[in-house]
């Protein structure tokens, strides 16, 4: 199907339509041989609360962003190279069903689909694209995925010291190594993790000690960490998506909003 759609006018038009929806804030997406395979709205479990996000699956990248006006305007574009992706199916919770985790070396997060069938289709298409891409490039699957951030509402107390209670005055912070929700006292340290960022990142006290021990052992063994390269030529890695600024954006969804009313079914691109 990819070979059939590559370099066709209809594929070029669909990619151009996606670029147009992201506007000047998005990066160019058209490349020779790149095919847009499908799209859909998934619920992404963000730091503050679950939110709808538009996702586009290409044969080499996964693109997602915030929805301003469905099929007309998106922003906060993020580009994930598929050769850096691994997937993990997750059990349902009381709040979210049909969940799975998208894991990469720079960022991992949980999404959920509107139905079990939709989840199976997404995972099937993703795995097929990843398998084909790894076979083509000769790369190995990501072995050190970043830890997903635990949502703020998952705990009312620091997950390290277990006695500091969060409030309007006592802020929650996230360790970039383990993803735990921690207080300021338990996350005073910063550590340089080249695979995640060129700048030192906030880490909890436990992870800081572990990272120091690993660094010391690496120095003694004469080894050094290999920084994560930009896996897709021509793209800068997507910036960290904390969703902190999303609360103030124009995207205001009522509690009973239908997030999955897209008229484009998964298979419509291939019919």
Q: Is residue 18 part of a domain?
A: yes
The total domain count for the chain is 2
**Closest C-alpha to 146, from 85, 98, 97:** 85
Q: Are 124 and 165 contained in the same domain?
A: no
Q: Is residue 237 part of a domain?
A: no
Q: Are 31 and 85 contained in the same domain?
A: yes
Q: Is residue 133 part of a domain?
A: yes
Radius of gyration of the CA atoms of the chain, in A: 20
pLDDT digits (tens, 9 = 90+) for 231-241: 333 333 333 44
77 pLDDT tier (thresholds 50, 70, 90): very high
Tell which of 196, 220, 244 closes a domain.
220
CB 242 within 8 A of CB 47: yes
Q: Are 130 and 189 contained in the same domain?
A: no
Q: Are 72 and 104 contained in the same domain?
A: yes
**Closest C-alpha to 198, from 153, 170, 230:** 230
Q: Are 27 and 133 contained in the same domain?
A: yes
Among the listed ranges 28-42, 183-197, 224-238, which one has the minimum average pLDDT value?
224-238
Q: Are 24 and 69 contained in the same domain?
A: yes
Tell me the whole-structure pTM to 2 decimals: 0.78
Q: Are 158 and 125 contained in the same domain?
A: no
Q: Are 130 and 214 contained in the same domain?
A: no
Q: Is residue 271 part of a domain?
A: no
220 pLDDT tier (thresholds 50, 70, 90): confident
Which domain range does residue 27 map to?
Answer: 3-137
CB 148 within 8 A of CB 180: no
Find all residues with CB under 8 Å of 206, minimum gap 6, and list them.
160, 178
Q: Is residue 234 part of a domain?
A: no
Q: Is residue 104 part of a domain?
A: yes
Query: For residue 30, what is the domain's CATH number?
Result: 2.30.29.30
CB 142 within 8 A of CB 84: yes
Q: Are 69 and 176 contained in the same domain?
A: no
Percent of the chain at pLDDT exceeding 90: 65
**Closest C-alpha to 92, from 108, 117, 112:** 112
Query: For residue 214, what is the domain's CATH number?
Result: 3.30.40.10
Q: Is residue 108 part of a domain?
A: yes
Q: Are 166 and 118 contained in the same domain?
A: no
Q: Is residue 261 part of a domain?
A: no
Tell which of 91, 110, 137 closes a domain.
137
Q: Are 18 and 64 contained in the same domain?
A: yes
pLDDT confidence of residue 112: 96
Q: Are 192 and 113 contained in the same domain?
A: no
């Amino acid at each position: 199907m990819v070979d059939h759609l590559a370099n066709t006018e209809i594929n070029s038009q669909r990619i151009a339509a996606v670029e147009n929806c992201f506007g000047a804030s998005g990066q160019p997406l058209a490349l020779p041989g790149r095919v847009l395979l499908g799209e859909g709205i998934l619920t992404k479990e963000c730091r503050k609360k679950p939110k709808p996000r538009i996702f586009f699956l290409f044969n080499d990248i996964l693109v997602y962003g915030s929805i301003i006006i469905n099929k007309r305007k998106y922003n906060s574009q993020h580009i994930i190279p598929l050769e850096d992706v691994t997937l993990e199916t997750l059990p349902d919770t009381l709040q979210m069903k049909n969940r799975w985790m998208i894991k990469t070396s720079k960022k991992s997060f949980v999404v959920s689909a509107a139905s079990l069938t939709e989840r199976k289709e997404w995972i099937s298409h993703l795995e097929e694209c990843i398998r084909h891409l790894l076979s083509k490039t000769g790369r190995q699957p990501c072995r050190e995925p970043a830890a997903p951030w635990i949502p703020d509402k998952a705990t009312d107390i620091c997950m390290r010291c277990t006695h500091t209670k969060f409030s309007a005055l006592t802020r929650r912070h996230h360790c970039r190594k383990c993803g735990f929700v921690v207080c300021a006292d338990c996350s005073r340290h910063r550590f340089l993790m080249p695979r995640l960022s060129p700048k030192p990142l906030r880490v909890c006290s436990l992870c800081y000690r572990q990272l120091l021990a690993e660094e010391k052992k690496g120095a003694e063994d004469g080894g050094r960490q290999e920084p994560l390269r930009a896996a897709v030529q021509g793209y800068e890695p997507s910036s960290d998506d904390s969703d902190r600024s999303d609360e103030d954006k124009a995207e205001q969804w009522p509690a009973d909003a239908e997030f999955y009313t897209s008229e484009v079914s998964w298979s419509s691109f291939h019919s």
